[in-house]
Amino acid sequence: MTSLPEHLGDPALTTAGPRISFGSWRSAVARDVMRFEFDCDRPRAFTGAIRQRSLAGVDFIDMVSGRHAAHRDRSVISDADTGYLLMTLQLSGSIRITQDDRTAVLSPGTFAVYDSSRPAVLVAGDDYRSTCVRFAKARLGPSVRERIGEITATAFDYAPGLSATAWDTLLSVNRNLDGLGAQGPSVVRSTMDLVGLLLRSTSGAADRAPADPLEQIQDFIDRHLGEHDLSPARIATAHHISPRHLYGLFDRTGTTVARWIRARRLEQCRRDLADPALAGVPASRIGARWGFTSPAHFGHVFKLETGLTPAGFRRAAMP
């Protein structure tokens, strides 16, 4: 396993693109991460850089900046951006993350998570560099989601075992994201399973009794909505049951497996299309993020279910 000093010195992990002004930084963070209010003592002297890439419904965000503060309160948080967790892996400088009456002070080699649905305050110091991973809370099991408030704004060290394995894997995937090719979605899926295992073990959720089989399957679907190859056959194989058994489990919901997947994808697309912070993201990209195979397919299914095109829905939803 690569040592921590080697990770922190890798320039591939700290290159976030060209430097931008404070005003542009605010807009870029709203677009690529989520909406915040900002404070900066020297806005004219501030520079930052941000690079965001997405694969299989997971966003990898490289950030470099000077000293500033960002906060989210109830006036900023909206229904459209409450479904996410952000994991910050600190590479240089420091940041204080406050949420749920706790404060994590991150230095190089530490990481923490925070929840987009609750107020938070982030204060970055000089020479701030990090890789942030943004993913839907739905990727975690219900037992973890119920207890995530117990571990937000908690600093975790790069230490031998699960935390170091998760750190190494996330940074390696981020570094190689553009070269993963057709295997990329599978790699990201496996990586997020590792992150889920880390959070389950940290929150103590791993000790809880297993969920109802249908609930486990629905949770699996939510975690993998962004993957084009999500199918009843794959779901049945992942849970060691036959397709017939899978169909029988869904009979009691009054819908089919395929319709459940489509409904969950559309729900996430509607949320993103209604989010002003994502107004600059093409509707086709939002559809692809949530597993629709082409813009035409996304547009057809969306209009069939809502009566509006994705663009028309976005116009109607924006304030």
Residue 125: which of 108, 111, 112 has the closest Cα? 108
For 67-126, what is each residue's pLDDT tens digit? 999 999 988 887 767 788 999 999 999 999 999 999 999 999 999 999 999 999 999 999
Query: What pLDDT was estimated at residue 13?
Result: 47
- Please tell me which residue, 143 or 244, carries the higher pLDDT value: 244
CB 158, CB 167: distance < 8 Å: yes
**pLDDT tier for residue 9 given thresholds of 50, 70 and 90:** low
Phi, psi torsion values for 101, nearest 5 degrees: 65, 25
- Calpha distance 52→61 (Å, rounded): 4
Query: What pLDDT was estimated at residue 189?
Result: 81
**pLDDT tier for residue 141 given thresholds of 50, 70 and 90:** low
**Percent of the chain with pLDDT strictly greater than 70:** 90
Asked if the model's pLDDT at residue 1 lies above 70, the reply is no
Residue 67 DSSP class: S
CB 232, CB 258: distance < 8 Å: yes
Average the pLDDT over 281-309 and give the result. Answer: 92
Query: In terms of DSSP bridges, do strands 37-39 and 120-124 run parallel, antiparallel, or are they unpaired?
Result: unpaired
CB 156, CB 106: distance < 8 Å: no
**CA angle (144, 150, 155) in 5-degree steps:** 105
**pLDDT tier for residue 142 given thresholds of 50, 70 and 90:** low
Query: What pLDDT was estimated at residue 12?
Result: 47
Instruction: List the single range of 26-40, 215-229, 237-251 with lowest mean pLDDT.
Output: 215-229
Phi, psi torsion values for 64, nearest 5 degrees: -135, 135
Residue 115: which of 163, 90, 89, 81 has the closest Cα? 81
CATH code for the part of the protein at 4-206: 2.60.120.10
For 240-271, what is each residue's pLDDT tens digit? 999 999 999 998 778 899 998 998 999 889 88
Asked if the model's pLDDT at residue 50 lies above 70, the reply is yes
Residue 18 DSSP class: S
Residue 155 DSSP class: -
- What are the angstrom distances between the C-alpha of 137 and each of 28, 259, 266, 279, 293? 23, 21, 16, 22, 23
Name the segment(s) of the chain with CATH classification 2.60.120.10. 4-206
pTM: 0.67
Strand partners, 50: 63
- Please tell me which residue, 17 or 102, carries the higher pLDDT value: 102
Reading the block at residue 237, the tokens are 């194989």
Query: What pLDDT was estimated at residue 10?
Result: 55
**pLDDT tier for residue 212 given thresholds of 50, 70 and 90:** confident
Asked if the model's pLDDT at residue 5 lies above 50, the reply is no
Q: Where are the alpha helices (DSSP H) in 141-212?
A: 142-147, 162-176, 184-203
- Calpha distance 14→279 (Å, rounded): 27
CB 126, CB 115: distance < 8 Å: no
- Please tell me which residue, 90 or 315, carries the higher pLDDT value: 90
Number of Cβ within 10 Å of residue 147's Cβ equals 17
Query: What pLDDT was estimated at residue 206?
Result: 46
Name the segment(s) of the chain with CATH classification 1.10.10.60. 213-317
CATH code for the part of the protein at 213-317: 1.10.10.60
- Calpha distance 6→118 (Å, rounded): 35
CB 54, CB 99: distance < 8 Å: no
- Calpha distance 41→28 (Å, rounded): 19
Query: What pLDDT was estimated at residue 267?
Result: 86
For 144-184, what is each residue's pLDDT tens digit? 777 888 899 999 999 899 999 999 999 999 999 999 988 88
Average the pLDDT over 199-208 and give the result. Answer: 66
- Please tell me which residue, 202 or 221, carries the higher pLDDT value: 221
Reading the block at residue 58, the tokens are 């997971």
CB 235, CB 228: distance < 8 Å: no
Asked if the model's pLDDT at residue 292 lies above 80, the reply is yes
- Calpha distance 12→219 (Å, rounded): 34
